[in-house]
Amino acid sequence: MAIEIERKFLVADDSWRGLGQGSHYRQGYLSTEPGRTVRVRVADGKGYLTIKGKTVKASRAEYEYAIPLEEAGAMLDELCERPLIEKTRYRIEYQGLIWEVDEFEGENAGLVIAEVELADADQAVALPAWIGEEVTADPRYYNASLIANPFSNWSG
């Protein structure tokens, strides 16, 4: 079984800009059940189908498969819940780890989150200066949650 171990943080300031290349992501969800999600994604001209299990602390089961781009596009246009998630993802190397900074668009504009995948749940992580509050355990920041409750609907 594939396991994803990931920590998620808010981004404190713009000092990360210019440190990595950005790629546009368009993704949607076929299922956003709490115990499992099924995501369709188009990124860098490729399609993907990803199934994720329930998050426990910073870990969850994850299975990802390449699918034909045309089929991914059709699923996004015809089958996925709304709104779709659109974002630009920047990959930034810092002290031996790759940080993924997601700058959201559309109904989630204004939200910027950084994630780092780990080999072990207890792995020590050096935080870049631009990292803010950790939100790993806050389900509001899960991409699947941003469908039902987009960032633009949050108050204060």
Domain that holds residue 143: 3-153
**Which residues are catalytically annotated?**
29
Contact by Cβ (8 Å): 128, 16:
yes
CATH number of the domain at 45, please.
2.40.320.10
Name the DSSP letter for residue 57. Answer: T
**If pLDDT is split at 50, 70 and 90, which confidence band does 1 have?**
low
Alpha-carbon gap, residue 28 to 73, rounded angstroms: 10
Provide the domain count of the chain. 1
> pLDDT by residue (tens digit) across 2-50?
888 899 999 999 999 999 899 999 999 999 987 899 999 999 999 999 9
Alpha-carbon gap, residue 132 to 153, rounded angstroms: 22
Name the DSSP letter for residue 50. Answer: E
Alpha-carbon gap, residue 136 to 23, rounded angstroms: 23
**Mean pLDDT across the stretch 113-124?**
91
Give me the pLDDT at residue 74, please. 98
